[in-house]
């Protein structure tokens, strides 16, 4: 008998990360027609160990990926599976994002006894480890007291039940993948809280020198719609310092007529908000998505610079640079 090829899948060891890795393994098995076996290799990352300080003070997004990246470099695993919003916009030279899985609901959820942000009591304590969510909450409700909540989904829910806060915000995608969406009091609209770039998308990295059979298998499970969204949103983040040191949000979606996208950067305290929106007519390609993300980022960067310098901006609509590139 011919021995099966095996794909060694690296992942963080949290319940959500393991659930996502198992989803990925199932897709590999189906795409290969049973001709490829999988094994899952959990890692405890630096980000999982440091729970007593905000991520931006501990080193940023790479804290959740560097152990997996190192394992790929050493050949200990073949593929690393990540929540895309945890992946830095610039990867090590030996890796590339080879796979994007179909996007789950990208919105955020309000967790607690209140169904809307408006219902939260005056001065309510809300727990969140995300600078983006903290700034968006303060922009909407300056009276709220936002405190740092670190840990996986289960840990944050426990902290909430123990009274450390009156509410918290979690991603709908993670709750749905864990079968815990019933824990949400409400799913917030994109107008209420624009999500993080990549939220709801699972991304997987391969080594540049991965064998052809593995690259071919990766291509079979890559989702084109998710790739378009990831490309646009990561282009926006790349231009505007999309690390966890910047309150930044971006969301791209396909529509019946083409695609639209919104992106924003906020002051840490939510006192200022710089936002841009744009559209693509007709089915976009990866290049179109990249251009849209870059164009909106330039609009936001210019608006922010004018605002901070006290200069009146020129009279034009956001996205004009992109429109000129398309003609």
| Residues identified as active-site | 86
Distances (CA, A) of 207 to 42, 98, 216, 223, 282: 18, 9, 13, 19, 34
Beta pairing, strands 167-171 & 108-111:
antiparallel
Longest dimension (CA), the chain: 73
207 φ, ψ (degrees, to nearest 5): -70, 150
**Inter-axis angle of helices 153-161 and 15-31, to 10 degrees?**
150
Helix, strand, coil proportions of the chain in percent (round to 5)? 40, 25, 40
Nearest to 99, CA basis, from 227, 256, 246, 193: 227
Q: Which two tokens stand for residue 48?
A: 């999982």
Burial level of 248, CB count in 10 A (0-12/13-18/19+)?
Answer: buried
């Amino acid at each position: 008998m011919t021995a099966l090829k095996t794909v060694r899948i690296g992942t963080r060891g949290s319940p959500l990360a393991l659930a996502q890795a198992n989803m990925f393994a199932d897709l590999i098995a189906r795409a290969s027609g049973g001709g490829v076996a999988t094994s899952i290799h959990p890692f405890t990352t630096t980000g999982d160990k440091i729970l007593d300080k905000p991520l931006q003070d501990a080193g940023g997004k790479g804290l959740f990926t560097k152990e997996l990246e190192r394992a790929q470099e050493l050949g200990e695993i073949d593929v690393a599976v990540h929540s895309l919003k945890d992946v830095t916009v610039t990867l090590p030279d030996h890796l590339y994002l080879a796979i994007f899985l179909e996007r789950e609901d990208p919105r955020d959820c309000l967790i607690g006894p209140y169904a809307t942000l408006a219902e939260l009591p005056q001065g309510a304590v809300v727990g969140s480890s995300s600078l983006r969510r903290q700034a968006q909450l303060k922009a909407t409700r300056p009276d709220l007291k936002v405190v740092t909540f670190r840990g996986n989904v289960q840990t944050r829910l426990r902290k909430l039940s123990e009274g450390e806060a009156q509410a918290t915000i979690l991603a709908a995608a993670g709750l749905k993948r864990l079968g815990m969406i019933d824990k949400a009091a409400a799913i917030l609209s994109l107008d209420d809280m624009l999500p993080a770039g990549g939220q709801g998308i699972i991304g997987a990295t391969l080594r540049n020198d991965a064998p052809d059979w593995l690259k071919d298998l990766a291509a079979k499970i890559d989702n084109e719609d998710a790739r378009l969204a990831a490309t646009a949103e990561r282009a926006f983040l790349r231009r505007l310092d999309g690390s966890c040191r910047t309150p930044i949000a971006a969301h791209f979606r396909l529509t019946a007529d083409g695609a639209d996208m919104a992106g924003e950067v906020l002051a840490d305290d939510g006192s200022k908000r710089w936002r841009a929106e744009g559209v693509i007519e007709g089915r976009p390609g990866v290049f179109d998505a990249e251009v849209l993300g870059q164009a909106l980022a330039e609009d936001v960067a210019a608006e922010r610079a004018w605002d901070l310098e006290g200069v009146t901006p020129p009279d034009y609509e956001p996205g004009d640079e992109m429109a000129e590139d398309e003609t």
